[in-house]
């Protein structure tokens, strides 16, 4: 069987890390993209103990040229991409809508919206080249919530891009879906809810396993 080639963004921590590790445990090759090199190195160490393998891509997802180089490298080496899991997100500081700083809004838009569109552009032909290419957007339900204007709006915009992509490719592929995980004790959530009691939050590994189950991916 040909090894599945999977790209996971935001793979250095949180759900992205857990998903990348879970995919490697099925024997897949994981292309792990994140800004944090240390987290990626920790992931590589963990993947070494699985049947899978990985390629680390220490890259800011807002780097258009970097994304283009990555996509070209994927094409040159494998000629396809079987799965994209887009988990990367920017946690803009909470603030009332009228007090949101321009730099915070710009940062949220750059990562959560614009980079999402560029990622679609780069990955669509690679996913179409696979026998059954699939893409998953990790969504959030805080759009319109008090104090979440920049984060909520930019994540909702990113989701809208994936929903348009899903509608456009329904008959021709790739298969594009939206996945909303349960609240988890991630670093992103900690920025929004400092001091929160994390005992009742879902484990990232459990949520990664649930995601793979919804995709029908097993070892």
Enumerate domains of the chain plus CATH numbers: 5-215 (3.40.50.720)
Q: How many CB atoms lie within 10 A of CB 67?
A: 22
Rounded alpha-carbon distances, angstroms, from residue 64 to 1, 54, 161: 33, 22, 17
- Supply the pLDDT for residue 88: 98
Rounded alpha-carbon distances, angstroms, from residue 90 to 13, 113, 128: 13, 10, 28
Q: Please write the tens of the pLDDT for every residue from 2-30.
A: 899 999 999 999 999 999 999 999 999 99
Q: What's the CA gap between 36 and 17, in Å, rounded?
A: 11
What strand order describes the sheet that includes 83-86?
Answer: 53-58, 29-34, 5-9, 83-86, 134-138, 175-179
- Per the prediction, the chain carries an average pLDDT of 96
163 confidence band (pLDDT: 50, 70, 90) = very high
Q: What's the CA gap between 155 and 74, in Å, rounded?
A: 27
The three-state secondary structure class of 38 is helix
Does the pLDDT of residue 141 top 60, yes or no?
Answer: yes
Q: What's the CA gap between 21 and 49, in Å, rounded?
A: 10
Does the pLDDT of residue 219 top 90, yes or no?
Answer: no
Q: Please write the tens of the pLDDT for every residue from 35-68.
A: 999 999 999 999 999 999 999 999 999 999 999 9
**CA 126 to chain CA centroid, nearest Å:** 16
With CA atoms as reference, report the closest residue to 25 among 167, 208, 149: 208
- Supply the pLDDT for residue 96: 96
180 confidence band (pLDDT: 50, 70, 90) = very high
Average pLDDT over residues 96-112: 97
Residues 6+ apart with CB under 8 A from 205: 18, 21, 22
Residues 6+ apart with CB under 8 A from 189: 183, 196, 201
- Supply the pLDDT for residue 38: 95
- Supply the pLDDT for residue 1: 54
- Supply the pLDDT for residue 218: 83
Average pLDDT over residues 158-162: 98
Tokens of 109: 């838009």
Q: What's the CA gap between 141 and 151, in Å, rounded?
A: 11
Phi, psi of 22 (to 5 degrees): -65, -40
Does the pLDDT of residue 143 top 60, yes or no?
Answer: yes
Q: Please write the tens of the pLDDT for every residue from 192-203.
A: 999 999 999 999
- Supply the pLDDT for residue 2: 85
């Amino acid at each position: 069987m040909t090894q599945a080639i999977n790209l996971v963004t935001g793979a250095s921590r949180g759900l992205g890390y857990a998903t990348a590790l879970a995919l490697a445990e099925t024997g897949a090759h994981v292309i792990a993209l994140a800004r944090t090199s240390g987290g990626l190195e920790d992931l590589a160490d963990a993947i070494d103990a699985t049947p899978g393998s990985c390629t680390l891509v220490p890259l800011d997802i807002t780097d258009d040229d970097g994304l283009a180089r990555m996509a070209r490298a994927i094409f040159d080496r494998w000629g396809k991409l079987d799965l994209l899991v887009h988990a990367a997100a920017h946690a803009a500081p909470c603030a009332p809508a009228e007090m949101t700083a321009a730099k915070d809004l710009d940062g949220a838009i750059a990562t959560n919206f614009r980079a999402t569109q560029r990622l679609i552009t780069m990955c669509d032909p690679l996913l179409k080249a696979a026998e059954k290419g699939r893409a998953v957007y990790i969504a959030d339900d805080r759009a319109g919530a008090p104090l979440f204007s920049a984060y909520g709006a930019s994540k909702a915009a990113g989701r809208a891009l994936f929903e348009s992509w899903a509608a456009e490719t329904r008959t021709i592929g790739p298969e594009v879906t939206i996945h909303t995980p349960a609240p988890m004790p991630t670093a992103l959530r900690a920025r929004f809810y400092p001091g929160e009691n994390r005992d009742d939050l879902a484990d990232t590994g459990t949520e990664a396993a649930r995601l793979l189950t919804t995709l029908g991916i097993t070892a």
